[in-house]
């Protein structure tokens, strides 16, 4: 509301009392107060109000009147302060804006509200890149980056990329998934061929997607989006290419076609069924098939595919082939009689091929001879002595992103919401890895356990291990927690008790190990355990557990040889810790904090 001191200068500069009265009314004055203030009859002011329809005025008209009155009052002041000049400038700009609003109301053109819009529309527009678009220059940059980042053995894979079928047995951690993801993207951009990625689970297949998106972003500054990823055609002779990422849902993907990559095929369940679907995807001669995996057990159905024995089925004996699948025969790669190009790439081959990521001498010291041969030298596991053979574990392996989609969101801040979980933790000794497993207990008695989360830690002291556990308690609603308190585990346990007082300690003994293993055999044997099929390290950790005798030779116990990859079967023991919260039939749960059977 204007002050009386401001009204008088306005009246002097504007002789129309009706406008002054209207301005006062729009500022909230009553008719009687206006008449008294302006020394007019009330009936006169009321008549002005009715005749000029003051109550029906639009908000913009009221604002204009108030601005005008205040503007005139400030202009009429004989002596102005700095703030007066600032306000005059502000009011002048507001009058200009209101004029634009009025004009926009008449024309409906946004440029009347903002003149910059018209100037921007007249300027030449930059052509925006479409979704997943690559220019010829970006494709060339990506291709050059792909060739520049290859080790020697990867160059061999690239030179044999024209082979219809490549079958590679490899050491762990030599960058096969990394390489083939890049190869597939480069091929899709160069030829327009579709690319299909098959893995034991959807989560594992998305490792391909992560590598591909990272490569496109770093080499060509293109942010790939979509599922599947669609690469638009750049030229008439290069069609649109689609990149599919499939887990076990590949069994129903009969209509897909393109080059395909089958990752860790020695660990998938139902290999023969998947193989039929996969080979059908690449039936046309222009498509290429690539199989690569670390070795599992010779009992796996994929072993005959590797050895060539599958080729002999249904053929006359005279047409049978007998392949030499030794490293000496396949180390450099060989095009075999069944038209597959096979190669074995050990960690030592990778080192000779320029891979400088390993210290072979250190690995030989850290690994037992058996583990070194299996994990790094591509020799198959003989799981006949394992307490948990691969054939049993494969029943537990599921595509978690699909099987658990209703209540488990792995990428969410709280993947399992506030549902209860059980945590098992097997701490690290010097040189070992520590294993942590989060298990969802059965929703009903006798139901299935689900391993929702697993991780391993190396090089952490007990404070670091305790902190890792604390982060898990923030992410999940932990109802039960069990920790091995042998050795460094006691220090971890004491720290964990500070933020999770109900943590249970397990002090290992032959009897305790026996109880854990028996529980695991019961759960796995009855098909009550599930974990993601891409977690080959968890399966391998279970396979590493074997029966042995104590040092005295008087008791049976269970142990696993220590290795860089499996640790001391830490993931398996951590999982067994969590399962131990459900007692064996006829056994009452022990509520003490330290369980030790002597």
> What is the SS3 assignment for 377-427?
CCCCECHHHECCCHHHHHHHEECHHHHCCCCCCCCCCCCCCCCEEEEEEEC
Q: What is the pLDDT of residue 509?
A: 81
How far apart CA 330 and CA 67 sit, in angstroms, is 89
Mean pLDDT of 408-417: 92
How large is the greatest C-alpha to C-alpha distance in the chain, in angstroms? Answer: 125
What's the token pair of residue 165?
A: 């079928």
How far apart CA 251 and CA 249 sit, in angstroms, is 5
Q: Confidence class of residue 551 from pLDDT cuts 50, 70 and 90?
A: low
Q: What percentage of the chain exceeds 90 in pLDDT?
A: 44
What's the token pair of residue 467?
A: 């902190």
Mean pLDDT of 527-552: 83
Length of the chain, please?
598
How far apart CA 205 and CA 144 sit, in angstroms, is 25
Of 43-52, 82-91, 374-383, give the lowest mean pLDDT range: 82-91
Q: Confidence class of residue 364 from pLDDT cuts 50, 70 and 90?
A: confident
What's the token pair of residue 470?
A: 């604390």
User: Mean pLDDT across the chain, nearest whole number?
Assistant: 83
Q: Is the pLDDT of residue 593 over 80?
A: no
Q: Is the pLDDT of residue 124 over 60?
A: no
C-alpha separations of 149 from 162, 171, 248, 356 in Å: 20, 19, 31, 13
Query: CA nearest 72: which of 49, 95, 53, 42?
Result: 95
Give me the domains of the chain, ranges plus CATH numbers. Answer: 4-121 (no CATH), 136-376 (3.40.50.300), 385-595 (3.30.420.240)
Query: CA nearest 428: which of 484, 472, 372, 389?
Result: 484
Burial of 49 (0-12, 13-18, 19+ CB in 10 A): middle
Q: What is the pLDDT of residue 378?
A: 92
Q: Which tens digits make up the pLDDT trace of 218-253?
A: 999 999 999 899 999 988 899 999 999 987 666 666
Q: Confidence class of residue 512 from pLDDT cuts 50, 70 and 90?
A: confident
Task: Kindly tell me the number of DSSP H helices and DSSP E strands found in the chain.
Answer: 26, 18
Whole-structure pTM value: 0.67
Q: What is the pLDDT of residue 112?
A: 60
Burial of 43 (0-12, 13-18, 19+ CB in 10 A): exposed
Backbone angles phi, psi at 118, to 5 degrees: -65, -40
Q: What is the pLDDT of residue 247?
A: 78
Backbone angles phi, psi at 330, to 5 degrees: -115, 0
What's the token pair of residue 564?
A: 């860089």
Question: Over the range 360-386, which residues count as b (16 or more CB within 10 Å of their CB) and which as e?
Answer: eeebeebbeeebbbbbbbbbbbebeeb
C-alpha separations of 575 from 224, 384, 441, 517 in Å: 37, 22, 12, 11
Q: What is the pLDDT of residue 96?
A: 76
Residue with tokens 């269970």: 558
Q: Which tens digits make up the pLDDT trace of 254-305?
A: 678 999 999 999 988 888 888 888 888 888 999 999 999 999 888 889 999 9
Q: What is the pLDDT of residue 597?
A: 34
Q: What is the pLDDT of residue 92?
A: 76
Q: Confidence class of residue 566 from pLDDT cuts 50, 70 and 90?
A: very low
């Amino acid at each position: 509301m204007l002050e009386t001191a401001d009204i008088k200068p306005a009246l002097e500069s504007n002789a129309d009392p009706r406008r002054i009265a209207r301005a006062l009314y729009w500022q909230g004055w009553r008719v009687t107060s206006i008449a008294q203030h302006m020394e007019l009859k009330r009936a006169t002011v009321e008549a002005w109000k009715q005749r000029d329809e003051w109550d029906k005025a639009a908000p913009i008209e009221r604002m204009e009147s108030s601005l005008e009155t205040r503007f005139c009052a400030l202009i009429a002041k004989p002596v102005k302060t700095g703030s007066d000049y600032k306000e005059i400038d502000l009011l002048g700009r507001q009058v200009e804006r209101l004029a634009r609003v009025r004009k926009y109301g008449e024309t409906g053109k946004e440029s009347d509200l903002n003149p910059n819009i018209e100037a921007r529309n007249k300027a030449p527009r930059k052509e925006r890149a479409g979704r997943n678009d690559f220019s010829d220059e970006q494709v060339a940059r990506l291709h050059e980056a792909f060739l520049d980042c290859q080790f020697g053995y990867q160059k061999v894979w690239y030179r044999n990329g024209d082979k219809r079928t490549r079958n590679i047995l490899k050491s762990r951690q030599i960058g096969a998934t990394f390489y083939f993801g890049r190869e597939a993207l480069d091929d899709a951009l160069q030829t327009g061929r579709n690319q299909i990625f098959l893995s034991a689970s959807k989560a594992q297949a998305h490792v391909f997607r992560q590598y591909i998106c990272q490569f496109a972003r770093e080499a060509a500054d293109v942010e790939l989006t979509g599922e599947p990823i669609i690469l638009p055609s750049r030229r008439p002779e290069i069609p649109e290419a689609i990149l599919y990422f499939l887990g076990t849902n590949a069994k129903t993907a009969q209509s897909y076609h393109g080059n395909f990559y089958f990752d860790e095929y020695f660990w998938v369940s139902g290999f023969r069924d998947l193989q039929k679907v996969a080979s059908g995807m690449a039936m046309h001669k222009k498509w290429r098939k690539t199989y690569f995996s670390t070795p599992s057990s010779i009992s796996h159905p994929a072993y005959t595919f590797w050895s060539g024995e599958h080729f002999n089925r249904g053929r006359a004996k005279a047409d049978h082939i007998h392949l030499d699948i030794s490293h000496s025969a396949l180390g450099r790669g060989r095009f075999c009689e069944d038209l597959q190009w096979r190669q074995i790439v050990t960690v030592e081959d990778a080192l000779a091929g320029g891979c400088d990521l390993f210290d072979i001498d250190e690995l030989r010291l850290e690994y037992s001879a058996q583990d070194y041969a299996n994990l790094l030298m591509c020799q198959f596991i003989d799981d006949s002595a394992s307490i948990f053979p691969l054939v049993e574990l494969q029943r537990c392996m599921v595509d978690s992103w699909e099987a658990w989609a209703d209540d488990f969101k792995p990428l969410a801040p709280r993947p399992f919401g506030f549902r209860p979980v059980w945590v098992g933790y097997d701490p690290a000794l010097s040189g070992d890895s520590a294993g942590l497993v989060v298990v969802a207990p059965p929703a009903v008695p006798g139901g299935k356990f689900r391993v929702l989360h697993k991780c391993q830690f190396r090089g952490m002291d007990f404070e670091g291990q305790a902190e890792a556990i604390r982060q898990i308690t923030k992410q999940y609603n932990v109802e039960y927690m069990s920790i091995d308190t042998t050795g460094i585990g006691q220090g971890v346990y004491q720290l964990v008790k500070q933020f999770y007082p109900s943590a249970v300690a397990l002090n290992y003994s032959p009897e305790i190990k026996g109880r854990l293993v028996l529980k695991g055999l019961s759960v796995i044997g009855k098909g009550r355990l599930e974990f993601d099929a891409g977690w080959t390290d968890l399966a391998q950790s279970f396979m590493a557990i074997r029966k042995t005798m104590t040092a005295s030779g008087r008791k049976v116990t269970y142990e696993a040889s220590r290795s860089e990859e499996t640790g001391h079967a830490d993931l398996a023991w951590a999982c067994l810790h969590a399962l131990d919260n459900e007692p064996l039939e006829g056994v009452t749960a022990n509520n003490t904090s330290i369980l030790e059977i002597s």
